[in-house]
Amino acid sequence: MAHLSWYRKYRPQNFGDVAGQSHIERTLRNAVAEGTVAHAYLFTGPRGTGKTTTARILAKALNCEKGPTPDPDETCEQCIAIAEGTHPDVHELDAASRTGVDDVREQIIGRVRYLPVRGTWKVYVIDEVHMLSLSAFNALLKTLEEPPANTIFILCTTHPHKVPETIHSRCQRFDFRRLSVEDIVSRLRFIADAENVQVADGALTLIAKHALGGMRDAITTLEQLASFGGGAIALEDVEDLLGEVDAEVLFGAAELILERDVAEAFRFVARLAEGGVDMNEFVRSLVRHFRDLFVIAAVGAGGALDTTSGDRGRLESQAARFGADRIARVLDILGRLSTELRYAADQRLAVEVALTRMARPNGDLTLEAVAERLDALEAGVPLRDVYIPAKPQEAAPPRGEPVSAPATQRHETAPPSTPRSAARPVAPDPLDIRTVKRAWPAVVEEFRKLSKTRAHVWNGTEVEVDADTLVVEFPADQAFLMEGIAAEAETVLLLRRSLKAILGVDPEVRYRLGRSGGSSPAPVPKVTVSAPAATATAPGPQPAPDTAGGVDHARLEAQLIADLGAEVLEDHMPGE
């Protein structure tokens, strides 16, 4: 006997066997029981969700020798003939191969007026009805509107938008839903037990997720894997054949991002590459994982989740630790990564960079990253930075001024119990005129990264060194520009950040107009950040000193973050 595919062998034979479509099955059962069956139905929905199967079950319910009944016995001649596709009164037509008006006239219009041969109802099931031509639809309209007694039409399609509205208006429409992962897993477990196939629950879950809501696809994959494994299906077999990523891998990746462990993230990607995991498939699976986290964080676990009950609790725990705003930022990065992978020369590198940006927002100049750093600051949690370890001491210039922390360092500069006065100042590195002159273009470029709108002020400038002071010399015709910059403490702070990043020193800065012009000092106070959860200060307007000669740190921090967010927003405005 020829082999019968499992999706045909285990096709549901009654309304109770159809998975995931209870709203449709209940309506049809009641219609049969009450004798209110419509003359035309339109079944729509994704492939493999039970449209044609439900049409056959409705035909059996109407023609069963004990019926019409919502529970056909499946043993009478009528039910058996319908299940085998040999009943003369149940016509299954493939509209994809019979698209023309002549086919409709021959197969339907010319035969519909004849009475049923064996049963009590004539049933026309037209599959892929959207493939009919417009002329064929028009020829069918009158027959569909007023069919003979005891005749019903069931139109099935995966593209209801391609069916004319004149057809819609003559039919009762039923929308078949995508099947949930749990519904598919339950059915696959039943089939695996019936076929004596040993398969782990984790493997069934991967098969169900890969099917994307289609039962037929899931059963076909299960049969293929059973043949591959010789009656036993291992989780590794599913991963190798389908390229799907196990839930444990996704939870592990999310945990690395949550803990901001960049070093382990690189090792994680290395293990994926060594295991031959497709980076595109990994990113798609990670997007689905964070989508579930976002739904839970936004509206709770009662939202639209496509996962098993076993994973739901773990998702709720991770979502509570992430928060909706941070998950939204991760999804934004993953969306850009999905596009970049299409053209990336090195997909592994693209994934590593993206994971780093997700884990540490320190180097990500976006509004979302700034907001995340501000949240961490308010919560008193330092952001981890594995590339630049915290230094126990920071350099300070003479005259007792405190030192500004570099922008790349986000660590605490002193333990919580250490008072501000306990930090011992260290003499700054001396300025070397040759090094400074060679590095000045790089300093200007670093300044441009921090503020594109202010970088033009350094065009045509030169630098000199006067002891431990950096002298910026402006052209003789730029006196007004020099005086304006000298009055802007924020510009000086940006310049000193750039000097610290390129030269590793944080000198005093003076301005000079040509070699014969006078100097214009830029007395900008340096800021020390030594609170337990403080981050390095970004450039901002000069705050008013308090009575002790210090700085209002909270006010400065808020203003600097607001200014940085405004710059990022300006860079992303259309037309810029």
Q: What's the token pair of residue 304?
A: 């639209």
Stretch 217-235: mean pLDDT:
85
Give me 546's structure tokens: 């308090």
Residue 519's contacts (CB-CB under 8 Å, 6 or more residues apart) are 471, 510, 511, 512
Sequence spans of domains, the chain: 6-175, 181-242, 247-359, 433-570
Sole residue written with tokens 């449709």:
24
Tell me, what amino acid is at 343? Y
Token code pair at residue 315:
């998702």
Secondary structure (DSSP) of 478-532 = -HHHHHHHHT-HHHHHHHHHHHHHHHS---EEEEEETTTSPEEE---------ST
Edge-first strand order for the sheet with 90-94 is 90-94, 122-127, 151-157, 40-44, 172-175
Cα–Cα nearest to 247, from 178, 312, 337, 166: 312
CA distance 478 to 4: 88
Q: What confidence score (pLDDT) does residue 397 get?
A: 44
For residue 516, what are the contacts with CB-CB under 8 A and spacing of at least 6?
476
Q: Which CATH architecture has domain 181-242?
A: Orthogonal Bundle (1.10)
Q: What is the DSSP string of 64-83?
A: -TT-S-SS--S-SHHHHHHH
Q: How far apart are CA 385 and CA 408, in angstroms?
A: 9
Q: Give residue 380's pLDDT.
A: 61
- pLDDT tens column, 543-560: 444 434 444 545 545 555
Residues whose CB is less than 8 angstroms from the CB of residue 189 and which lie 6 or more positions away in sequence, other chains included: 201, 204
List pLDDT tens digits, range 59-103. 999 989 887 888 888 888 888 999 888 899 899 988 888 888 888
Cis previous bond, 68, omega within 30: yes
Q: Which of 57-66, 271-280, 362-371 has the lowest mean pLDDT?
A: 362-371
* Among the listed residues 32, 37, 45, 59, the one whose alpha carbon sits nearest the alpha carbon of residue 174: 45
Closest to 54 in 3D by CA, of 96, 17, 90: 17
Residue where the block lists tokens 């009158």 = 142
pLDDT tens sequence across 288-333: 889 888 888 888 766 667 677 667 788 888 888 888 888 888 999 9
Residue 284 has, within 13 A of its CA and on its CB side, a CA count of 13
Task: Say if CB 364 and CB 357 are below 8 A apart.
Answer: yes
The pair of three-digit structure tokens given for residue 414, joined into one six-digit string: 């002193």
SS3 percent helix, strand, coil of the chain, rounded to 5, is 50, 10, 40
Sort 404 into a burial class: Cβ within 10 Å, 0-12 / 13-18 / 19+. buried
Residue 385, by phi and psi: left (phi above 0), alpha (psi -120 to 50) or beta?
A: beta
Q: How far apart are CA 520 and CA 513, in angstroms?
A: 8
CATH class of 433-570: alpha beta
Distance, CA of 448 to CA of 454 (rounded, Å)? 7
pLDDT of residue 154: 94
Please indicate whether residue 190 or residue 229 has the higher confidence score (pLDDT): 190
User: Does residue 125 surpass a pLDDT of 50?
Assistant: yes
Across 274-280, average pLDDT: 84
Question: Which residue type occupies 329?
Answer: R
Report the pLDDT averaged over residues 47-58.
91
Would you say residue 493 has pLDDT above 50?
A: yes
pLDDT in the model for residue 171 = 92
CA distance 176 to 174: 6
- Average pLDDT of the chain? 77
CATH number of 247-359: 1.20.272.10
Question: pLDDT tier at 124 (50, 70, 90 boundaries)?
Answer: very high
Q: Residue 84 carries which side chain, given as an amino acid letter? A: E
For domain 6-175, give its CATH number from 3.40.50.300, 1.10.8.60, 3.40.50.920, 3.20.20.70.
3.40.50.300
Q: How far apart are CA 566 and CA 568, in angstroms?
A: 5
495 backbone dihedrals φ, ψ, rounded to 5°? -65, -40
Query: What is the rounded CA–CA span in Å between residue 395 and residue 379?
Result: 28
For residue 546, give every residue at least 6 positions away whose Cβ sits within 8 Å of its Cβ, in sequence order, or none. 552
pLDDT tens digit string along 137-192? Answer: 999 898 888 888 889 999 999 999 999 999 999 999 999 988 888 889 989 999 99
